[in-house]
Amino acid sequence: MIKLVAQAKLPTEFGVFDIHIFKNSIGCGEPVVLTMGDFLTGKSILCRVHSECMTGEVFHSIKCDCHAQLMLAMKKIAKIKQGIIIYLRQEGRGIGLVNKIKAYRLEDLGYDTVDANLELGLPVDNRQYDLAIKILQYFGIKQINLMTNNPDKISAFNRSKIKVIKRVPVEIKPSRLNKNYLQTKKRRLGHLLKNV
């Protein structure tokens, strides 16, 4: 399902990671993986499985918490000098960039993030984690401390051969502009958020 095609050192503001690019046979973009440290310890590895968000990560939109979550994950891994970030090309909870911006337009008109997708005839959350599971297996990782607020993500890994030993929250302080979005994720998608 996956094949490593490129890798290099990646110096960042948080520290030096190794970056790995994979090709995959199911055609949903090229997963990007950042790693730091040794995974041959047999211990559970700090892990963030992160879905692409061009609006947040490239253009620094504060409509969502994606950029802040990614930065927090990098900081946490750099602090302990061990971990993995699997960056999946699943823009807009898997609906793609075009549909995501169409959903944004509906949100401008008063729909929440769930109803906007439904109004477009799209799934509320179309993300898959099979690639992330294969990537963890590629690196020989069997146990993870998963950085997530999403119980569906935990369930996906618990159904696989990867064991989630602990959930590590990646909760971001809400702002005036993303508070409703975060409240919707908590209320309608069951995200484990305390501060909204």
State the helix-helix crossing angle for 130-138 and 151-158, rounded to 10 degrees.
60
Cα separations (Å) of 145 from 16, 43, 45, 113, 126? 21, 10, 6, 28, 23
159: amino acid identity, one letter? R
Active site residues: 125, 127
Is 22 in contact with 2 (CB distance < 8 Å)? yes
State CA 27 to chain mean position distance. 18
Is 155 in contact with 55 (CB distance < 8 Å)? no
